[in-house]
Amino acid sequence: MRARDLTDLILLAALWGGSFLFMRYAAPAFGPVPLIWLRVAVAALCLAPLLILRGQQGVLRQHATGIALMGVFSSALPFVLIAWAMLSITAGLASILNATVPIFTALIGALWLGERLGAWRTSGLAVGLGGVLLLAADKADFKPGGSGWAIAAMLLATLSYGFAANLARRRLTGVPALVNAAGSQIVSAIVLLPFAVWSWPPTTPGWMAWSAAVVLGVGCTALAFLLFFRLIANVGASRAVTVTFLIPLFGVLWGNLFLGETLNAGMLVGGSVVVLGTALATGVLHLPVRA
């Protein structure tokens, strides 16, 4: 991997890890849906001009149905679920749970697209899901005010991401990355607009919350998508997906530095098991097999 690609990978992990910090800060002020509408609307405003400059509007219209579904399942739905979860759980825990995305991607690919997993990848699915159970064991309290439903929302969001990834492979293969990125954010902004208007906070959030929302849209969404798709083009999808292993590191780091969150032993053990399972399930980690 070239130095520029490695820099892109680390910057992408820092941005996506930081998204949990900004949602944790701004979600209580805006509410989940208004915050996410601001996030995708800002991202759409950043990406749409690039789409027009490259003359790719026709490709967007040609694949409108598939991109509309991508917008719902890759952005609108999971973003709202994560923002809602951030009202109850820490940014560090959310970023660790987010590492299960490749696990659900592999599982859905096997069930829907008939992909062969092999023994090690199947073991990875089991290990990764076991890590989730370890994380949830002492935190999944479904009583009023507990974090159980927030953890369930996070896992539903990662399931949605996994479905979106397989949907893209099935229906949007060959579609330019910018078309997917811009189209999904435009669709998400349109879908969420009426819900955002209906649930807009009666009290105007402060400038710090507004700043967090703008950074979410510009840095953690528009710029992050461009970096991700550039990585896929330069180093391939299998290497680009390794960003998943770095996101929890930055999520925990930013939460500790700026929100005073702590990493306990349970999170450390469970997170390590999730990352190991993800590495096996995605095929990034291959253990030696004796003939």
Q: What is the pLDDT of residues 164-209, one digit of tens each?
A: 888 888 888 788 888 989 999 999 999 999 999 999 999 999 999 9
For residues 238-262, average pLDDT:
81
* Residue 289 in domain: no
* Residue 29 in domain: yes
For residue 74, give every residue at least 6 positions away whose Cβ sits within 8 Å of its Cβ, in sequence order, or none: 160, 161, 164, 165, 168, 184
Owning domain of residue 191: 3-281
Digit-coded pLDDT (tens) for 30-75:
999 999 999 999 999 999 999 999 999 999 999 999 999 999 999 9
Residue 143's pLDDT band, with cuts at 50, 70 and 90, is low
The pTM assigned to this predicted structure is 0.87
* Residue 160 in domain: yes
Amino acid at site 12 = L
Q: How many CB atoms lie within 10 A of CB 166?
A: 21
* Plot region of 287 (φ>0 → left; ψ -120 to 50 → alpha; else → beta): beta
* Residue 288 in domain: no
Which has more confidence, 42 or 110? 42
* Residue 129 in domain: yes
* Residue 287 in domain: no
* Residue 130 in domain: yes
The total number of structural domains that make up the chain? 1
* Residue 216 in domain: yes
